[in-house]
Structures are given as structure tokens and as C-alpha cells.
Amino acid sequence: MNKTKQALRQGPWTQTFSGRQFWPMDPRPEDVCIHDIAHALSMLCRFGGHCREFYSVGEHSVRVSFACDSADALWGLLHDASEAYLVDVPRPIKRHLSGYREIETLVQGVICEQFGLSHSFPDSVSLADDVLLHTEARDLMDRPPMDWKHTADPLPERIVPWSQQEAEEMFLRRFHDLFRAPVSKWSSRERNVITMPDPITLADVRAHIEQRIEYCDQVNAEIPSNARKHQRANAVRCELTEVLAMLDRVQEGSAR
């Protein structure tokens, strides 16, 4: 990102898993990447780490997406997505952190905009969140010293936690099942971003993908901004970045 564009942003920035810059005090939809969200949430442990074994916010989110109404499933999957950029703060602490709620709402709002969700937290997601909280307390915590005063009954099935890698994979799989990117409506020039030739070597694949990522960056750098075009290019860029990471893993395996 050039210095002129960076100077237009407010507050400090953080670096995400994919190497992007994210401004928590000045978030924008084009900064949001589903792979950053999936990875970060799969690395965050619920209950501030006080459960008997590792259980990620990413797994919790996947389970909420299945427990809520099907029409709200994508909202359920992304209901804690702001925590990918702000970390998971336990409920008893969050209510006493001045300004945190406002920042959380701001970040969650641009995530909703990026993925075409309403800004209103669906009732079915709120209920499913409480159901999972009760279920997780039963299955993952020691016996409580006092009643948690749960407002919802737990799920009948018991939770056997996934690993971090499993949680990340399941989160992305669930997302792609629920989110339909409008690639079919792209112009022929835009569609060329994800059209692959018939490469012969991994180097050919890498060069082609890097060229397409560069095009996505050019789209995101356009001023005045085109939010719809940025959303499409950003979604494709995230996918291409993941493909590059897969290529790196393949090459590392071949070198052993």
C-alpha cells in the first residue's frame, strides 16, 4: 500500500495472517479476508483459555451456524468474526471495557458489509450462541462454583473439540457452503482474474497467480472506490493467496 493511501487511514494498523494491513479504528470492507478470519478464530481459545482442553472460537462459530435458523447460518458463522481482529474478550470483562463495544460494532459492521449481511444480530443466532455456551460449559469446563444462570438448554450431543487445523478447515468449508460469490456476474475482464492457463510447472502457476493478485490490488487501489468491485476482487485475492500458500506447502514437501 502506498504512503498516500495509508495516510488517509485513522489510527494504528495490525498485520493479518495473510500479510494485509487492518485498521481496527478505521476498518473498511476491502480489508476483510475470510482466510484471515478463519485462521485467527481457529487460533483463539474460548473462555480465555480456561477450558479443560483447547476449543477454538472458530469451532464455536461453526457450531453456532448449525444451531441457528438456516436462513441465518452465515451470520451465525461470522457472529464472532470481529474477534479475529480484536481477540476474544470474555463476557464479564467486555461489558466493563470502555469503548470496546463501539469498536467491536464498527469492525463487525464492515465484515457484514463485505459479505452482504444485515447489521442486525439475528435472534436465532443469539439463541444459538447461548445454547452453545451452555453446551460448552457442560462439556469443556470443570464443575462451576456457582450457577451460571443459563437461559437456554444445551445440545443433546457432547462436544469433542477439533484441533486448530481442523477448526480452520471446517470454518472455511462451512463458509464456502454458505457464501455464494457472484463470479458469474463478472465482466470478461474481471473473470480473467481467476481464469488459469494450462501451466507446465509450479513456477508457471505461481507467476500466473501473482499476476492475478497484482490485478486485484490495482482494483482495490482505484479512487474513487467501487465497493462492489472491491468486494469481488478482494474475495478472489484471498482465494489466490490461499492457493499460493498451498503451493508453498507442496514445494516444501517435495524438497524433503
Give tens-digit pLDDT for 205-215. 777 777 777 77
Residue 183 and residue 232: Cα distance in Å, rounded? Answer: 8
Percent of the chain at pLDDT > 70 equals: 80
- Across 42-69, b (16+ Cβ under 10 Å) vs e yields bbbbbbeeebeebbbbbbbbbbbbebbe
Higher pLDDT, 84 or 225: 84
Give tens-digit pLDDT for 221-241. 664 556 666 666 777 777 778
pTM of the model: 0.70
Place of cell 457484514: 112
What is the maximum alpha-carbon separation in the chain? 64
Give me the torsion for CA of 82, 186, 216, 24, rounded to 10°.
-20
Looking at residue 160, the DSSP 8-state letter turns out to be -
Query: Looking at residues 25-43, what average pLDDT do you find?
Result: 95
pLDDT of residue 6: 56
Give tens-digit pLDDT for 57-74. 999 999 999 999 999 999
